[in-house]
Structures are given as structure tokens and as C-alpha cells.
Structure 1
Amino acid sequence: MTELVAPFALLPEGLGWGGLLLLVLAAFSAGWLDAVVGGGGMLQLPALLLVPGMTPVQALATNKLASVFGTATSSISYYRSVRPSLRTALPMAAVALLAAVGGASVAALLPVEVFTPIIMVALVVVALITLFKPALGAVTKLKYRGVKHVFLALAAGAAIGFYDGMIGPGTGTFLVIALVGLLGYDFLMASAQAKIVNFATNLGALLLFIPLGAVLWPLGLIMGAANIAGSLLGSRMAIKRGAKFVRVLFLIIVAALIVKLGFDLWRDANGAA
């Protein structure tokens, strides 16, 4: 069994100042990407997994600590400028937080690779619909009202929150997909609400990891500061440029997720051969 890196060590053994700089750059870029449309975990988590001696659970936990700061920052920025509907975002966030705790607690029990083909197919469908329906997400046009709207928001929050606790990468993107395609928000408003929910899912998973002693606090706080800076820049850029800009970047991130998942499937298939 791999020995855990000391939680309060300034730097993990084997990680020099050059490596720390790369982690800070990854955290800044992840904060920017998450603030605009989600997907920052594709940058930040793989960077942490490359740290010598760090176990996967420590990488996941430290990633969540850094991400909590970034999503909190972008949530505040969006709320001040866009004024997202808290009647949708807060119940969705509460359910997502609880689901994320559940997802994190069973992460080691379920074969995650089973979900990869399903997620990839869903992403391809979403990308095609978004690409060939330019009006989708251009303006907010809610599909449902009242109880049905809230029920669908809660169901989406629970499913995506569980996914974030169990697997993680692409959570913000999936939240935007649900808020645009399922509920009818425009891309900018969807991104604003997604940040509030994503903050809750990060916090939920972190609440499980802290008692395990898996969080590398000094490293996570340093990366959290970089995440804040990236989130401030990304949220301001998205607010300034509007829904069309967010839609274009959304398509790019979905395409990147499809390529990554496709590569993972190919690698696993060849590894098993």
C-alpha cells in the first residue's frame, strides 16, 4: 500500500518549485475554464496525479479543496452581475451536495469504467444537438414552471452531484447541459447557476475527504489562490461576452471531453488485450 503524503507538508517529497509552478498554472487555467463553462477538472486533477508519491485519493481531495475556492469566487461574481435564479440553484445545490457525499463514499466500490461509454454517448448527442440548433441556449426560455421545474432541477442536481463525488471531470459542463437542454436557460444564466451547484458538489466531496486525512492543505490552499484568480478572470470574461461566447467554448470543452473519454476507452481496450 502506498504511504500517504503528510497532509500538512509544505510540498510533497519529490515535487520541486518548478513542479509547484506548473500546478499553480494548471489551477489558474482550471479556475478560468470552470468559471466560463466547466471542465477545469480535466486540467487540475491530471496535474495533481503526476505529483510523485501522491495517491489518487489525495489528488482527488486536494483538487476539491482548490476547486471550492474557485467555484465560490465565480459563484459570487456571477451572482452580482447576472442575478441567477436562486429558487432553482439553491435547492439544486443542496441535493447535489448530499449526492456528492454519497458518490464519494461509494467511489471505491463501483467500477467507474462502466460509466465511461454511457457518458461519451451522452456527450456526443449533446454536442450534435448544440451544434445543429444554434438557437438552443441563446435566450432563456424555461420549458417548465412550478413543481415540474423544481423536480427536474433536483433530479439533475442529484445525478450530477453523485457523478462529481464518484468520478468528477466535466461536472460543470454536465450542469450547463442540464440547465440549458433540460430546463431552458441560456448559456450565460446556466453557467451562473452551475457555479453555485458545482461549489456545493465540491464542498460535499471535500467534507468526506477531510476526516480521512487525504487533503494536502498547504498545496491545496496555494492552488486554491490560483483558482480564485482564474475564476475572477473567467467569470468576468463570460459576463462581458455573453451567451454566444459561452456556447462556443461549451462546444470546445464537450469535444475535448469526448476525445479524452474516447482515448481512455481505447487505452483500456488495448491494455486488456
Structure 2
Amino acid sequence: MDIVTIILLCIAAFSAGFVDAIVGGGGLIQTPAALVLLPDMPVSTVIGSLKIPSFSGTFFAARQYLKRVQMNWSLTAMMCITAFLAAFAGSELLTIVSNRFMKPVIFIVLILVAIYTYSKKNFGQQVIKQHSAKKTIGLSLIISLIIGFYDGFIGPGAGSFLVLAFIAILGFDFMQASAHAKMVNLSTNLGSIVLFLLKGSILWSVALPMAISNAIGGILGARLALQKGNRFIRIFFLLVVTATLLRFGYDVFFS
């Protein structure tokens, strides 16, 4: 592996960690860059290797959020366990079948997400209490199951989908949604890592330097989000959703 390739991968990992720490969606930067820069590697090896920097960046970003955001730890633990198992299953399925048939569906969903978020100016600006404890648990587990499986099977935009679901369904504000999304995302990454470790599909010479870069980006991104608050995160969320939309649109219509 030449040094120029490693440097470019680390730049991509830093950028991904920065974006991911704020609203998710770092996979839009990191995954395409790695697939382009490592054309001779099996796709499963590339994707498996990227789970290490994704976990690293999310871990350090989560630490920043936990210093400032109050968490419901019993609920978070249940979501994390569910997401871990779902992501493991999704990654297992990825090694067997193609995920391309899902991209047109995700493309349509992203259009609706962008329109909804843009039109609702107060979206995610404050906490809205709207469910009983029992219903909150049930909805949280469903969210973790579906998006956890999605993250293991497809990946890009999973963090953004978690943020959206926590706001639109559970009534969190952007700050709370981002903090809880980081914890669940840690679990989805870990579930995929365990699967790819068992498959022997991680290239450590790429994964480790990217992990350091992603972690630095994650720390800086989380600090900026916490400093700027909900309004800044909403704008950033819209930008990332739009970028995700363009990415899936390209895959659907041109690839």
C-alpha cells in the first residue's frame, strides 16, 4: 500500500468523521473514496475495513455528546443490543446477496425526508414529549432493528436516518437525537465488525490509520455541533440528506 493512497484515505476518513459526528452520513465520503482508491480489493474487504474507522470516529464523537446531553441509559442499552444484532444480520446478508435493489427505495425515502425537514422549520428544535414509556421503548426497538439492519446491509446515511427517526418518531431535539444516534451507531458498527472479523475481511494496514483520522474528525465535529446547537445541526442535516440523495440518485440512474 503506497503512502499517497493511505494519506488520501485518511483525509477521507477525517472528513467522514467530522460529518458523521454532527448528523451522520460520513459513509457518503469514506465509502466511495475507499472503493475508488482500493479498486483491486474485494468489496467485502473494503466495507469491512471501513467499519473500524467508523467505529473509532463514532466512539470519540459519542464521548463529546455524553458530556453535555442527558441520556436515558436503560432505553439506550436496549436500542444498542437490538441494533448490534440487526447490523450483524445485515452484514451477513451483504456477504450473500447484492444490496442494489434497495437503492431506488432509499432514493424515494430521501426525497420525502428532505422535503419534510425543509418544510418543518421547527423540526428538531425542541424536545416534544408525546409517548408513554412503554410506547417509547417499543418504537425505539423498531427503529434500532430496521436502521441497524440497514446499516449492516447498505450503510450510507444510517446515522442521518437514526437522527431523523429519533426526532420525528420519538420527539427528541437535534442534540438529543444526535447523542442517542451515536450510541446506536456504535453498536451497528460493532455488530458489523464482529461479522467481518469472523469472515477475515478487515485490512488492518488501511483500517488503523483511517481510524485515527476518523476519530480526530469525530471529536472536532461533535465539539462544533455542541457549540452551535440545534439550528446549526438542522441546516447541516439538510445538507447531508441532500448529498445522500444525490449519491443514491447517481447509483439509481447512472450506474
* Fold-level similarity (TM above 0.5): yes
**Residue 22 of structure 1 aligns with which residue?**
8
2:44 and 2:95 in contact (8 A); partners too: no
**Residue 178 of structure 2 aligns with which residue?**
191
* Counterpart pick for 2:197 among 204, 210, 225: 210
The answer for unaligned runs of 5 or more in structure 2 is none
* Counterpart pick for 2:89 among 80, 94, 102: 102
1:82 and 1:239 in contact (8 A); partners too: no
Distance 2:247 2:97 in 1: 21
**Residue 37 of structure 1 aligns with which residue?**
23
**Residue 86 of structure 1 aligns with which residue?**
73
Q: Could you state the TM-score of these two structures normalised by the residue count of structure 2?
A: 0.96
Output one character per residue of 1:130-163: Cα deviation in whole Å (capped at 9) or x when no partner. 1111111100113212111010000000000001
Distance 1:149 1:155 in 2: 10
Distance 1:84 1:62 in 2: 30
Structure 1 residue 267, shift from structure 2 partner: 1.4
Q: Which amino acid aligns with 1:44?
A: Q
**Residue 8 of structure 1 aligns with which residue?**
none
**Residue 229 of structure 2 aligns with which residue?**
242
Between the two structures, name the one with larger relative contact order (CA 8 Å, sep ≥ 6): 2
1:49 aligns with 2:35: yes
Structure 1 residue 217, shift from structure 2 partner: 1.2
| 1:1-273 correspondence to structure 2 within 5 Å | 11=1, 16-50=2-36, 51-268=38-255
Q: Which amino acid aligns with 1:28?
A: F
Higher Rg:
1
Distance 1:92 1:154 in 2: 5
Distance 2:241 2:40 in 1: 31
Pairwise CA RMSD of aligned residues?
Answer: 1.2
Output one character per residue of 1:10-55: Cα deviation in whole Å (capped at 9) or x when no partner. x3xxxx2111111110000000011000000111111111214211
Q: Could you state the TM-score of these two structures normalised by the residue count of structure 1?
A: 0.90
Distance 1:237 1:199 in 2: 20
Structure 1 residue 111, shift from structure 2 partner: 4.2
Number of paired residues?
Answer: 254
The answer for unaligned runs of 5 or more in structure 1 is 1-10, 269-273
The 10-residue stretch of structure 1 (122-131 or 84-93) with the greater mean CA deviation from structure 2: 84-93
SS of the residue corresponding to residue 72 of structure 1 reads helix
**Residue 4 of structure 1 aligns with which residue?**
none
Distance 1:259 1:105 in 2: 27
SS of the residue corresponding to residue 106 of structure 1 reads helix
Name the % identity. Answer: 38
1:160 and 1:174 in contact (8 A); partners too: yes
Cα distance change on mapping 1:112 and 1:52 into 2, 3 Å:
closer
